[in-house]
Chains A and B, each alone.
Chain A
Amino acid sequence: MPAMLSTQPHGLPHPHMQTEQGPQQRQFNPYTENGGTILAIAGKDFSVIAGDTRQSEGYSIQTRYAPKVFRLTDRAVLAVNGFAADGNMFVKKVRQRLEWYRHAHAKDMPLRAIARLIQTMLYARRFFPYYVYNILGGIEEDGSGAVYSFDPVGSYEREACRAAGAAQSLVQPFLDNQIYFKNQTPAPGTSHPTHLPLPTVLKLVIDSFTGATERHIEVGDGLEIYVVLAKGASTQALEGIRGIQETTVTNDGERVFIIQRELKKD
């Protein structure tokens, strides 16, 4: 403020002037956490991959519609959760690699190969990671439904179900109970089913997200459920579902559907 300076009598130091400057530290944090939750469940001949659409930073909602689940091919769907910017960039790079594969081999990459590709892509950034948890769902070459879950640096595993993100701790124990029948003993002479039918899985997904929405502030607004059906799988379970949309591109046999639902916005 030069005007203020001129009012000072000559010879006296400015009252705010510091004679000695201490060390200063500045920092740029390249990461944020954008909330939300994703979930995937594998069936015998289908796979369901879902995510809410709220994107938040701290206590603020940035948008009520930011998809976290993406169709990669007609047999692979990828859900990304964590730092949204990294998530979007990562999906972009995976899609680019899948396109190169298509040009080189004239076919879509198999699911297990996509899973391994994602591992190497994540581990390539071991010392400056993509801050995202990935869940890959789809159909294997043998026609079975599959779910692969990853940590941010590429450690991965094939599973029957997995939840990740803000409400992982709310949803995963519920899934342990309802999908793996943990802590439940079958009646004598009977056994628990290894694969659940599609209508049951869809109900569990919706219940999981409504429950998480109720108790977690970062979950809500909208729900996107992707359903991947294996070659020749029946579409009967999907008939008459409100707000269903088919997004299949090729006619290899596998089919992809999206179900959109509203979640509470408070």
Chain B
Amino acid sequence: MSIMEYNGGSVIAMVGKECVAIASDLRLGNQALGISSNFQKIFPVTDRIYLGLPGLATDVTTLQELFRFRVNMYTIKEEREIQPETFAHLVSSTLYERRFGPYFIEPVIAGLSQTPSGGFKPFIAATDLIGCLNFAKDFVVAGTASSKLFGVAEGLWEPDLEPEDLFETISQTLMNAVDRDAYSGWGCVVHVITKDKIITRTLKGRMD
């Protein structure tokens, strides 16, 4: 019995043209038994950063609260909003603090970072459960369907997708990957972050 697969669930993030997308399934399970089809794994951090927390469900809640606290402390001390790169390092050091008794979560970060000229640059990152950062240029995956997500994303993703095309790509990738994973599925949620709005859609998935 692996703790990483105890509750199931998967998250993926992708880069597009001046936009990023992050998506997850909605299942909460107790091993093979499905418990909820409306379990949130993706949380807003700022207006332009979203954080996905697949893994052990009890740690999803703990870490979501911990990051909320730490981001608030950062905002108060610095008197500015945290940037995705900084937040990624906050996630990494928070997890590494528990190097020898880790939280069983593999976080995925997606956001738009502000450039010196005032524009926005897409940013995605993922870490393992002890905070080893992976800054990918294309897509990152995590959770029980990660190998399936890698396979489909490698086939469907292409550079410079517009927000609507990125939405379709990430949705198809996630849906088809979780349909081959017994521990993920039961519906999906997708967020596309663009410079002036966030598109959030809940997708109906197979319920078997």
Asked if A171 contacts B176 (CB within 8 A), the reply is no
Question: Which residues of chain A have C-beta atoms less than 8 A from B148's C-beta?
Answer: 169-170, 172-173
Leading 4 A-B pairs by shortest Cβ distance: A170-B151, A211-B154, A177-B176, A183-B175
A170 to B181 Cα, complex, angstroms: 11
Interface contact A183-B179, CB-CB below 8 Å: yes
Q: Which of B154, B156, B172, B175 contacts A170 (CB 8 A)?
A: B154
Q: Is the C-beta of A207 less than 8 angstroms from some C-beta in chain B?
A: yes
Chain A residue numbers with a CB within 8 Å of B152 are 170, 173-174, 177
- The answer to whether the Cβ of A182 comes within 8 Å of any Cβ in the partner chain is yes
Contact B176 A174 (CB under 8 A): yes
B70 contacts A by Cβ under 8 Å: no
Q: Which residues of A contact B151 (CB under 8 A)?
A: 167, 169-174, 211-212, 215
Residue of B147, B172, B176 contacting most chain A CB atoms (<10 Å) = B176
Contact A211 B175 (CB under 8 A): no
Contact count band on A:
20 to 34
CB distance from B137 to the nearest CB of A (A): 13
Majority secondary structure of chain B interface residues (helix, strand, loop or mixed)? helix
16 further A-B contacts with Cβ under 8 Å, apart from A174-B154, A211-B154, are A170-B151, A170-B152, A172-B148, A172-B180, A173-B176, A173-B177, A174-B151, A174-B152, A177-B176, A182-B176, A182-B179, A183-B175, A184-B172, A208-B155, A212-B151, A215-B154
Q: Is A214 an interface residue (CB 8 A)?
A: yes
When chains A and B are docked, how far (Å) is the Cα of A174 from the Cα of B197? 30
A214 to chain B, nearest CB (A): 6
Say yes or no for B96: interface residue by CB 8 A criterion. no
A-chain residues with CB within 8 Å of residue B172 when the two chains form the complex: 177, 183-184
Q: Is the CB of B155 within 8 A of A178?
A: yes
**B interface bracket (residues with beta carbon within 8 Å of A):** 10 to 19
**Given the complex of chains A and B, what is the CA–CA distance between A184 and B175 in angstroms?**
10
Does chain B have a CB within 8 A of A176? yes
Closest residue on chain A to residue B141 by CB atoms: A215
**Chain B 139-175 near chain A by CB (<8 Å), digits 1 or 0:** 0000000011011101110000000000000001001
* A119-157 to B contact mask, C-beta < 8 Å, 1/0: 000000000000000000000000000000000000000
Contacts of A184 in B (CB 8 A): 172
> How far is B156's CA from A183's CA once the two chains are assembled, in angstroms?
14
* Contact partners of B176 in chain A: CB under 8 A: 173-174, 176-177, 182-183
Residue from A170, A171, A176, A210 in contact with B179 in the complex, judged by beta carbons closer than 8 Å:
A176
Check A207 against B179 for contact (C-beta < 8 Å).
no
Give 20 pairs: A residue, B residue, CB < 8 Å, sorted on A.
A169-B180, A170-B147, A170-B148, A170-B150, A170-B151, A171-B151, A172-B148, A173-B151, A173-B152, A174-B151, A174-B176, A182-B175, A184-B172, A208-B155, A211-B151, A211-B154, A212-B154, A214-B154, A215-B151, A215-B154
